[in-house]
Amino acid sequence: MMQPRGTLGLKKNTRRRCLCCRQLFRCHPRTRSQQRYCSEVKCRAASKKASQARWVGKPENQGYFCGPQHVSRVRAWRESHPEYGRGLIAKEPALQDSISRQPLERARKSPVLTLQEPIQRQIPATADPNGVWTVGALQDVM
């Protein structure tokens, strides 16, 4: 029997119980073998906390952020940013709050060419027998 394309022998609808909220959820098709938490916000936070605890728990990572090079780096940064974390930074309004509505402008005629100008119909002028130019029909009289 031939398997449908794209399944690669894996179950399509794998459901698993979340380690945080204990609810059943459908695993993402590409990461179903590793996914242990659902996509709820509190469950994602618990997943990240567990992942970081696993990383720090490894013997090679025990003193990763310790040492004189990290101490000097942090001290230099704190000296260059003395106002950070002390509540002295003036809060600027959020970008979305500072945008005001653009005022509407009435259409007006200006000598500057705009992107779209109305085209006025031009009627060619013709000369009458006396030599006076007059506006005439679109086609010449023969």
Q: Is 128 part of any domain?
A: no
What is the per-residue pLDDT across 85-119, written as a single tens digit (0 to 9) for each? 876 555 666 666 666 677 777 666 656 656 666 66
Residue 129: CA count within 13 A, CB half-sphere: 0
98 vs 14: which has the higher pLDDT: 14
Task: Find all residues with CB under 8 Å of 17, minimum gap 6, and list them.
Answer: 23, 24, 25
Choose the weakest-confidence range: 49-53, 70-74, 125-129: 125-129
Q: Is 74 part of any domain?
A: yes
Number of domains in the chain: 1
* Range(s) of the domain holding residue 44: 15-83
Q: Is 21 part of any domain?
A: yes
Closest CA to 141 of 130, 126, 122: 126
The pLDDT of residue 25 is 93
Closest CA to 134 of 126, 16, 81: 126
Average pLDDT, rounded, for the chain:
76
46 has a pLDDT exceeding 90? yes
